[in-house]
Amino acid sequence: MKKSILLLVVTCAMGMTLLVSPTLATQAVPDKVEMNSSVYETHRKPIVTFTHKKHAEDYGIACSDCHHVFEEGKNTWQQGDPVDGCDVCHSKDKPSPEERRSMSDAEKMKHFHYEAIHENCKGCHKTLKMEGKPTGPISCSKCHVK
């Protein structure tokens, strides 16, 4: 009987550990994240510092609004999944004028870090502004602070 209770307690403890682990991993994210990327040979503007905690907790932005893994056009990333840097998939720096003219917006976002970051961050800020909601900066100098 005692062995059964002990087994039940150990099983419950292990189950709770598995349930709580993704939450603990989420809490381990630093409050401020530098949006630095090695895809750029040189940075022409200061690196943007992103306040992860404000966006997630204060503004209620869902994790999957920024973190994504697309399969067949659908974001399959879920909280607790590994988080890769943006440049793992968006592995080119900035499109050339020729690429800018010849590629669709979706193609540019898929391949170019510059396009993906600006569309995701700046695009969200613009949408909120159009909806009359409080938002973050849209101009270059407000994000790329010296």
Domain coordinates of the chain in residue numbers?
A: 1-29, 31-143
Which token pair is 103? 């590629």
Q: Domain 31-143, CATH 3.90.10.10 — does that match?
A: yes
Whole-angstrom distance, CA of residue 144 vs CA of residue 139: 9
- What pLDDT, on a 0 to 100 scale, did the predictor assign at position 28? 73
- What pLDDT, on a 0 to 100 scale, did the predictor assign at position 6? 43
- What pLDDT, on a 0 to 100 scale, did the predictor assign at position 1? 53
| Closest listed residue to residue 90, CA positions, set 53, 35, 144 | 35
Whole-angstrom distance, CA of residue 35 vs CA of residue 120: 13
- What pLDDT, on a 0 to 100 scale, did the predictor assign at position 2? 54
What's the whole-model pTM score? 0.73
Phi, psi of 51 (to 5 degrees): -95, 90
How many CB atoms sit inside 10 A of residue 36's CB? 12
CB 70 within 8 A of CB 76: yes
Burial class (CB in 10 A: 0-12, 13-18, 19+), 81: middle
Whole-angstrom distance, CA of residue 118 vs CA of residue 84: 18
- What pLDDT, on a 0 to 100 scale, did the predictor assign at position 110? 93
Question: Along the 146 residues of the chain, how does pLDDT read in single tens digits?
Answer: 555 444 444 444 454 444 444 444 445 778 898 998 999 999 989 999 989 999 988 888 999 999 999 899 899 999 889 998 899 999 999 999 999 999 999 999 999 999 999 999 999 999 999 999 989 999 999 999 98
Longest Cα separation, the chain: 75
CB 101 within 8 A of CB 112: no
